A and B are shown apart, each in its own frame.
Chain A
Amino acid sequence: MKFFENNCTFEYSWRDVSIANWRKYCAWNDRCSHVIAVDTVSRRVEPSTGVLITERLITCKQSVPKWLLRFIGGTEVSYVHEISEVSRENQTVTMRSTNLTCAHILSVQETVIYSPDKDHPETKTNFSQHAQITAYGAFSRICNTIEDWSVERFDQNAKKGREGFERVLRMSREAFAELKADVSKIPEVISS
């Protein structure tokens, strides 16, 4: 079993981050081309807590080294199941995901939490990512190699994920500013 951890801070409010998070894998994000589709399978607001629970299926296409392809049966498309919870009251977004593909060989369990920064709750948002990676098999050496490869890939994707998400946040802010500028022009048009 191996662990992966990653923490960073985004210079945007929790509100902005939580909105942009739904757009994380859109065309604005040119760094996450390994995610080819994101489907919402179910969604509900828990009546007692007001928490928004969303279940998604994420489709990825990644280049996998030949030695690993032999173990996983030759497929490069893989699926990830994600359950997320947004608590307005606690101002947290918690996303838990697991791999559906090759689950008998490798288990990857990831938890991501977005929460307001303690010192700058209005302007900054903390991102924390934690993953537990376990390879199953009779040969511990092979398991170790698979686990190491997965951790390394996690690290690469985390870096790309951050860069891509920064771009989505920036584009969202710009789009919103343009929208506001357009709205402010309306009275002029009407009065003229």
Chain B
Amino acid sequence: MATVTMTVNGKSVSGEVEGRTLLSDFVRNNLNLTGTHIGCDTSQCGACVVHVNGKAVKSCTMFALEAEGSSVTTIEGMANPDGSLGTVQQAFQDNHGLQCGFCTPGMVMSAAALLEENPNPTETEIREYLEGNICRCTGYHNIVKSIQAAAAAA
């Protein structure tokens, strides 16, 4: 076991982990931040996307120890300081950008990363950026609409 320390959603955290402990397991099991979902555990589905130093990554395909000293944002860090939904989250609610909701944390994190890189993406750019996020309910249409709305609202 080794001690890992990082900043998660603005707070400094540390915990005891094995070398093989995944970042997804660290945030869920050590920090009880269960909004980060583990869908496939094979880096295909994107439900586990978090931001590490501002970049979207699949937290099931990174070890917790690799995030030592990093700044991590999970879906729990996307709300406004007063607890109300953040812009991207609100856009997903307004546009019915989810059905079962399992993929939604990853969709919101990928969407936020896209809008950071490209504040006014085209529909094609949005769909390309979501290549690593799989939704089995919506057919993606309302997810794309949600991201377009979030871009317009920002």
Q: Do A and B come from one complex?
A: no
